[in-house]
Amino acid sequence: MKKNKLQSTSLLPLPVDVDLVRFETNLLQIGFFSAQDPRTKRSSHRVLEQTINRNGQRIRVRAEFLASDLLGLPSTADRDKFLALMKIVSEERARIGKVQNPIRFSGYRLLKELGLSDSGQNYEDIAMWGKRMADTTITSERVIYFSARKRYSDKTLHVFRSFERVGESNLDNTDRHEAYEVLLEDWLLENLNHGYVVPEDFRAYRALTRPIAKGIFGNLHLWFHASQGRPVEKDYVELCNFLNVSVYLYASKIRETMGQSLDELVRVGYLDSWQLQPMTTKKGFKIVMQAGHELLRVISLTQRKQLGEKSIPTQQELSETQLFALDALMKTGVLPAKARALVVQYDPELILDQLEYAESQMFTGPGRKRKIENPAGFAVYLIENCLPIPASFVTSRKRKEFELEREIEAQQRAQEYKLEIKYSEWRDSRVAAELEARYPSSQLEEKLQEIITQRMRTDEHFKRNRTDKKNLAHLALSHLRKDILQELMLPSLEEWSRSQVQRQLF
């Protein structure tokens, strides 16, 4: 089985200068921070509606953002400061074990994280940012997720409950010492402590200068994690609405605007390449993005950290394996207290392997003459020095594990293969039904000819096969089926398989 691009990154050296910051997932998914041009007047009202696939069903979700005309809605400049705040919060969480109110920080520290000078205007910008964050309301219709309670919100929320400047300066604004205090709303505290976050590389983010690049940046982690490193396609108009930026009709203008931001993401290694392609089922364009090496490295690193966190043991009582190792040690002659200390401190399965290897080394010759006078001392020596067992020595436990793994893997492969075939057949039937409903036979031929004509202008493969009408029609149909499949937003294999199991229960 071929490994996908994301899986292959485990072989790459991880960057030593990655500066991971935990960004709350809801604020990323709903586009809370607009990427609009900073030179334009901030809007004070915005609505984002999306059709998403949730638990195998297509549903419509809605988020409404409202702020005062004076302050306006948060933009990517506010996202910069929020990300710097999350870096400060992450360090506090690492120190005391959780995020808690109030959060206090100095203006100098926040500006230092952003690489900004400590000018008076920058301090004023911090104050305006805090007021804007506290002022903005979010009305959620099944879109804000409460991780600990495992439910979606249908009410009006804030991000900051309050923001207060507690610094001081002289009357002429000299000798300024700015400090701030933030109270996060309960839902945000809950999600940060519950790990409903997307780790972002603050170092790479600070290298970006364009608002649209910053607006796309965090979502690349979500998109390519979900696609497992495979190329991601986004409807250009929907992406503009999500970022709250102007939509352009012509390819040249799109490349001149959003294209420069995508090029910036290529330069920092978060995209490998991108293409602007025409949509086949409707007018307009889509952006096809290929993950960059730096993004894949960061995703790989965060996955490893999560696995490491999950591997920390929490149960101090002896397990069945520890009891088995304890019994084996005492049979070898190790005193009970010492044996118990060993099974608590060291891997009990490794202890069993080391005891089996020690047994093989204690006797020699045809008469099985003992060559080690103190078997217990030899066993303790192996365990406490963590001496490895030679690869050529296969323990009985490992032999049983190999046999069981081979049997389980064979059964799983067969089951997965059957499930994949059923899923593919179901998905193809849905696409075929939609294709027949949209394009009766005569209209289908016209649509395929339209795609062929369109593709002839930009697709080299179509150009090379211009004389093979049958092959061209087949290729055009494949592109049409692909786009219809994306528009249907069918459940993934995992979601579909879960729904099949649920149906079998009733």
Checking if the pLDDT of 309 tops 70, the result is no
According to the model, what pLDDT value does residue 269 have?
A: 86
According to the model, what pLDDT value does residue 424 have?
A: 86
According to the model, what pLDDT value does residue 95 have?
A: 74
**CA-CA-CA-CA torsion sign (200, 202, 204, 208):** positive
pLDDT band, very low/low/confident/very high, at 1 (cuts 50, 70, 90): very low
Report how far residue 200's alpha carbon sits from residue 294's, in angstroms, rounded to the nearest whole number.
11
Question: DSSP states of 301-326 as a string?
Answer: HHHHHHHHHHTS----S--HHHHHHH
Checking if the pLDDT of 427 tops 80, the result is yes
According to the model, what pLDDT value does residue 474 have?
A: 85
Checking if the pLDDT of 9 tops 50, the result is no
Start-end of H helices in 319-395:
320-332, 336-345, 348-361, 375-384
| Locus of tokens 């690193």 | 301
According to the model, what pLDDT value does residue 167 have?
A: 67
Share of the chain above pLDDT 90, in %: 1
According to the model, what pLDDT value does residue 340 have?
A: 84
According to the model, what pLDDT value does residue 54 have?
A: 65
Report how far residue 296's alpha carbon sits from residue 491's, in angstroms, rounded to the nearest whole number.
25
The per-residue pLDDT for range 283-300, each reduced to its tens digit, is: 888 888 888 888 888 887
Higher pLDDT, 221 or 389: 221
- Spatial CB neighbours of 437, under 8 Å, sequence gap ≥ 6: none
Question: DSSP states of 157-191 as a string?
Answer: E-SEEEEEE--B--TTS-S-B-EEEEEE-HHHHHH
From 9-13, 100-104, 481-485, the region with the lowest mean pLDDT: 9-13
Q: Which of 356, 206, 212, 393 is nearest to 287 (CA)?
A: 212
The per-residue pLDDT for range 14-25, each reduced to its tens digit, is: 344 567 888 888
